[in-house]
Structure formats: structure tokens, C-alpha cells
Amino acid sequence: MPQSTKITIATRQSRLALWQAEHVKIRLQAIYPETEIALLGLTTTGDQILDRPLAEIGGKGLFIKELEVAMQEGRADLAVHSLKDVPMQMPQGFALAAVLQRENPSDAFVSSRYTKLDDLPPGAVVGTSSLRREAILRANYPQLAVRSLRGNLNTRLGKLDAGEFDAIILAAAGLIRLGLADRIAALLDPEVWLPAPGQGALGVEIRSDRANVHELLTPLHDPQTGLCVQAERAFSRALGGSCQLPLGAYADIVDSQLRLRGFIGGLHDQPMRSGEISGAASNAEELGLQLADKLRG
């Protein structure tokens, strides 16, 4: 792509989404100093409907549809997402062009009054918008009350500070990126609290026919994170992963060996099934499918 070309990044307008888009802008600006890079802020349907759980209103795609329309219409060249918010099946005509190096993938326990989950008394109210987190809470802390919590990061923290909840569970990565790591009372052990597929990683989406934009983004792609989230997303996709399904997956790579752990179920009288698999990192997709097969059986 010629250096004089303008690049427009579509983004949601929450504080975290803007931080993520700005982060990609800064990275690209350093690589292509002659190129003008602009942000196009948009409000998505997922940002507008805050009174109902995500699982009831259509799932994660509600956070990216308007950004995809902007790319289709040529108003934007790419969009930056928290990868855990990207549907497991990319819409036709779109592709993930780059996955950036992962931030901390853990869930975070956030509370003004308690330092860890085990300190919460019976009946304490914990807020989360995630069926995955709800399933883990109900399996390990049946004495706690779980209530739906929607809204951007500041809104959720505001509801906690107003006393509506005794504690809330959030992705650690978002808090760290916004300089709010001091709000984390405790990081939740990812061995027990398997994160959402892709949690902690940023994904850059483009129109699949924009080969020039894909090439431009190559320096941003982190191959190790890319393989890990490929395995996690393949596992989730094979099990019909969506906001309507309690599901977690996390992969790591040591010495070219990828270890993938995953679980599904745990709500509405469905037993929680979990397992793990290891193999060559180059077989990331296949490992995800094999673990899904194992749990399905």
C-alpha cells in the first residue's frame, strides 16, 4: 500500500474500544510514518441495548455489525475488536487479518469490600454479563447470588461503587489497558476460571477482498497468540460457541507444543464437561476440533 494512503479505523466509542483503536493507530503510525491514520467512532446496537443480557438480544455480533457496514461502504479500512467479542464464525466477506500479542487473559475479581471470592458471605451479589462466568460461579460458589451486569467498563464499575453489587467479574486485560489495574482485588486462576476464547487479545478485522490492507497489517500479527486463539476459536466454533452457551477455552504454547483446555455447560441442569489436549502448535485448528469432539462425546 502506498505510504500516502489514508487508513481509517472503525471503532466503538467506549473508552476501552477507543484505547484499543488508538493502540493500533500508534503501532501503524510507527511503521508507516507518512500515512494518515484516522479513527471513525461508531455506536453499535450492542452499546445501545443495555437493559437485557447479551444472550437475549442476539449475541456478540451486535458489537461489530455497524463497523462492518462502514467497511462495506468504504468509510473504513479496518476495525479493531477485543477478540473475545468477535463471533466465532466470521461473516461472509470479512476476515481477521491480525491478532496482536495477548495481554493478561485472566478474569479479575473486583470489589471495594472484599479481597477475594472466598471472602464473600452467602447471598452476596456478584455481577457478570457472561454465561461462562455465571456457570463457573454457580459450580464453585453455589451460595452466591449472580446478577446480570451490562454496560461499558466505567458503567459496570459505577454500579459496583454505588453498592448495587458486592463484587463483579471483569476481564483483567481491559482494566490493565485503561490504567485501572488497582481496581483488581484478585486475578482468578485461569486453571479454574477458563477465560473466553480470545480473551486478552486484540483482533483486526478487514474486508476479505482487501489484500493490500491485509499486507499492511502483517507486522502487527503475533504468531504465537494467533495460534493460541485459533485453537480456542476452533473449539468454540465446533461446539456452536456463542453468548447463549457457557463455554471457556485457553491455550498456551511451550516449546512448540500447544496445550488447550476447555469446558462447556454448567447451567440449566446441563453438566459441566471439561478436558484438555496437547499437540504441535502448528496443528492449532485441528487440536481445537479434537477437544470439541472429546467433550461432545
Query: Is-catalytic flag, 85?
Result: yes
Give me the pLDDT at residue 242, please.
63
Q: Which of 117-126, 233-242, 264-273 has the highest mean pLDDT?
A: 117-126
**Residue whose C-alpha cell reads 493478561 in the numeric block:** 104
> Whole-angstrom Cα distance, residue 267 to residue 255?
36
Catalytic entry in 77, 85, 107, 166: 85
Q: Is the pLDDT of residue 52 over 80?
A: no
pLDDT class for 46, splitting at 50, 70, 90? Answer: very low
> Whole-angstrom Cα distance, residue 11 to residue 86?
13
CB 221 within 8 A of CB 143: no
Give me the pLDDT at residue 83, please.
94
Give me the pLDDT at residue 85, please.
87
pTM comes to 0.89
Q: Which structural domains are found in the chain, ordered by start?
A: 1-100+200-221 (3.40.190.10), 107-187 (3.40.190.10), 222-297 (3.30.160.40)
CB 166 within 8 A of CB 126: yes
Orientation angle between helical segments 15-31 and 153-161, nearest 10 degrees: 140
